[in-house]
Amino acid sequence: MLTYKAPLRDMKFLINDVFDFQTHYKDLDNGSNADPETVDMILQGMADFSENVLAPLYKKADAEGCHFDNGEVTTPEGFKEAYDQFIEGGWHGISYPEEYGGMNLPMSLNLIKAEMIGTANWPWSMYPGLSTGCINTLMQYGDETQKNTYLPKLIEGTWAGTMCLTEPQCGTDLGQVKSKAVPQDDGSYQLSGTKIFISSGEHDLTENIVHIVLARLPDAPEGTRGISLFIVPKFLPDAQGEIGERNGVTCGSIEHKMGISSSATCVLNFDAATAYLIGEPNKGLKAMFTFMNTARIGTGIEGLAHTELSFQNALPYAKERRSMRALSGTKDPDKAADAIIHHADVRRMLLTQKAFAEGGRSMIYHAARYADKMAQGITRGDDAEFEKWDDKLGFYTPIIKGFLTELGIEAAKHGQQIYGGHGYIKEWGMELIARDARIATLYEGTTGVQALDLLGRKVILQSRGKIIRDYTSSIMKWCGEYALDKDMRKFVWALTKLCAEWNTLTVRLMLMARKDREIISAASDDFLMYSGYVMMGYHWARMAAVAYDKLENGGTESPEFYTAKTQTAEFYFDKILPRTSGHAESMVAPSESMTAMDIDSFAFLD
């Protein structure tokens, strides 16, 4: 039986001690609403809901799955009741403006909330989670009529949202989108086409579902330059803003998947559905990236969620399961064998899970502060401020999404290894985590797509390496502050060398690309993982600095917590960070070994 306990102590360590969110909130228009008492109330309330309502539903909902019948989708038993409780508590709208019914709290609190509900029950969390990107897109690009029509219901949670990009003939390459939107005399459009892999595309949790859909106008240019963005509600709003007649959008089927079976993944058919243009014609892809950046951070949280849940359930098992004696000597002499947690290899796996979970949480909470600034740009209507912070967040999103979701799979694998044979059967739930973790590396673009976005688009094309120089410069400046600190010296020295190497590798790849056009694609995955390990190392060093300060200067009632922080940081630098060496060597290897083989020579099957 899987259990979940919200790691509030670790969350508060980041919020209060490492990142000082209260000072950060003073720079936000809505920051005064997030006083310490309100933040604690939200953390505790969401922890209670996640632990006691969502977590008990996770495993049995997976066994039941979603039900499809003639275009209608029914979610597993208990999902609707949990959703109603979530909405009644006002949890859905905590980070949105009061004028649309929200609580006007910073976006970072919404992301912290998302971590808890996602770790407790990721498939359930996707239903309200998809609405977040829909809301953000309308906040940024919707006109006043669209905002007033849709935002109150979406923020209230009585209506849900989706994003509809993928079609049968195209996934990541959105230039192949074929769905068509034909203008009507009343200013609306008739949209026709088929979208696949639509999470939460149909369900019984809300009275209406608002689809954000990519499609082409009749005179649109080819490729991505000819994509527009539309609102297509399941039920058309009437004059009073309530649900009216059924629109021409139906669910053709739901997918039968490897995991997340209690999250409905739908095929949606749009048959001359009434649609409304968002933003400017043929500029829908830019607007959709607002949705996608939000979704990519959310998917990064999924990687963290699977890591945390696997760790939480592997740890007690390792303390109780007994096998053999520890090599360093008997630990439990009154027992037939020692608990497996005394074996170094089991500790390696547990510490890897712990380091990934707490390091990943720090990365996401740091990015959440950028999300606060980006959201402020949206609410102010300040495009320059929005784009400034969206660009900063844009550097983090492929790393958070690609790197942390890959680590989620590794952590889930370690959980199964710790359980041994019990990790492969359904009774204990570790195989469920392993199955569900797989999808996170595919959502919102595979790891390879994230890697190309990072290296090819953001590092090389957009900034010519400046984005890496700027980021490593900030790390080096921080390292300078601790250069003479005896406790921090080992972390500072390692990060200093890695920052120099990171810049050198970036320059080498740009130079190699002049002669070897395939090197960017060949090197991108290694570059992404290298970047992730260094970034996480920086975050572990920052957490260690705070922990050492707490231990040396007193003022804490939990020295064990801070000691565990410094010890986990040391483990990360000793056992995990050296992985960068392999990635560094691999990324600058010529691409010929990947491209030389003729495609017909991959296999000889007689």
Instruction: Select from 204, 192, 210, 202 the least CA-distant residue to 253.
Output: 202
439: left (phi over 0), alpha (psi -120 to 50) or beta: alpha
Average pLDDT score over residue span 430-457: 95
Distance CA 502, CA 47 (A): 39
In the predicted model, is pLDDT for residue 583 greater than 70? yes
In the predicted model, is pLDDT for residue 400 greater than 70? yes
Q: SS3 of 198, please?
A: strand
pLDDT at residue 108, rounded to an integer: 94
In the predicted model, is pLDDT for residue 443 greater than 90? no
Burial of 419 (0-12, 13-18, 19+ CB in 10 A): buried
Q: Greater confidence, 215 or 285?
A: 215
Task: Please say whether the dihedral angle defined by the alpha carbons of residues 237, 291, 439 and 2, taken in this order, is positive or negative.
Answer: negative
Q: Are 588 and 509 in contact, with CB atoms under 8 Å apart?
A: yes
Both tokens assigned to 56: 């008990």
Residue 293 banded pLDDT, cuts 50, 70, 90: low
Both tokens assigned to 405: 């979701």
Residue carrying the six token digits 């959008």: 249
Residues 6+ away with beta carbon under 8 Å from 536? 355, 356, 359, 360, 362, 363, 403, 572, 576
Q: Are 123 and 52 in contact, with CB atoms under 8 Å apart?
A: no
In the predicted model, is pLDDT for residue 46 greater than 70? yes
Write 559-564 long-range contacts (CB < 8 A, 24+): 561/9, 561/13
Residue 383 banded pLDDT, cuts 50, 70, 90: confident
pLDDT at residue 116, rounded to an integer: 98
Residue 223 banded pLDDT, cuts 50, 70, 90: confident
The DSSP call for residue 53 is I
Residues 6+ away with beta carbon under 8 Å from 10? 358, 361
pLDDT at residue 540, rounded to an integer: 98
pLDDT, one tens digit per residue, over 504-524 is 999 999 999 999 989 999 999
pLDDT above 90 covers what percent of the chain?
87
pLDDT at residue 176, rounded to an integer: 86
**DSSP characters over 99-124:** GGT-----HHHHHHHHHHHHHH-HHH
Domains in the chain: boundaries = 449-590
Give the pairing of strands 208-215 and 159-164: parallel
Angle between helices 55-64 and 122-141 (to 10 degrees): 100
pLDDT, one tens digit per residue, over 531-555 is 999 999 999 999 999 999 999 987 6
Residue 294 banded pLDDT, cuts 50, 70, 90: low
Q: Are 330 and 317 in contact, with CB atoms under 8 Å apart?
A: no
Q: How many CA atoms lie within 13 A of 334 on its CB side?
A: 0
Distance CA 241, CA 247 (A): 15
Written as one letter, the residue type at 5 is: K
pLDDT at residue 20, rounded to an integer: 97
Give the pairing of strands 180-183 and 159-164: unpaired
Longest dimension (CA), the chain: 84
Q: Which residues are catalytic?
A: 444
pLDDT at residue 445, rounded to an integer: 86
> How far are the Cα atoms of 472, 497, 526 from residue 508, in angstroms, in the given order?
16, 16, 14
Q: Picking from 211-225, 264-278, 294-308, which range would have the lowest pLDDT averaged per residue?
A: 294-308
Q: Greater confidence, 302 or 387?
A: 302
> How far are the Cα atoms of 79, 253, 267, 402 from residue 64, in angstroms, in the given order?
11, 17, 20, 30
pLDDT above 70 covers what percent of the chain?
99
pLDDT, one tens digit per residue, over 123-148 is 999 999 999 889 988 988 999 999 99
Average pLDDT of the residues of the chain = 94
pLDDT, one tens digit per residue, over 164-179 is 999 998 867 777 899 9
pLDDT, one tens digit per residue, over 327-379 is 999 999 999 999 999 999 999 999 999 999 999 999 999 999 999 998 888 88
pLDDT at residue 290, rounded to an integer: 63
Written as one letter, the residue type at 539 is: H
Q: How many residues does the chain have?
A: 606
pLDDT, one tens digit per residue, over 226-238 is 999 999 999 999 9
pLDDT at residue 386, rounded to an integer: 84
In the predicted model, is pLDDT for residue 291 greater than 80? no
Both tokens assigned to 132: 């977040």
Q: SS3 of 351, please?
A: helix
pLDDT at residue 466, rounded to an integer: 96
pTM of the prediction? 0.96
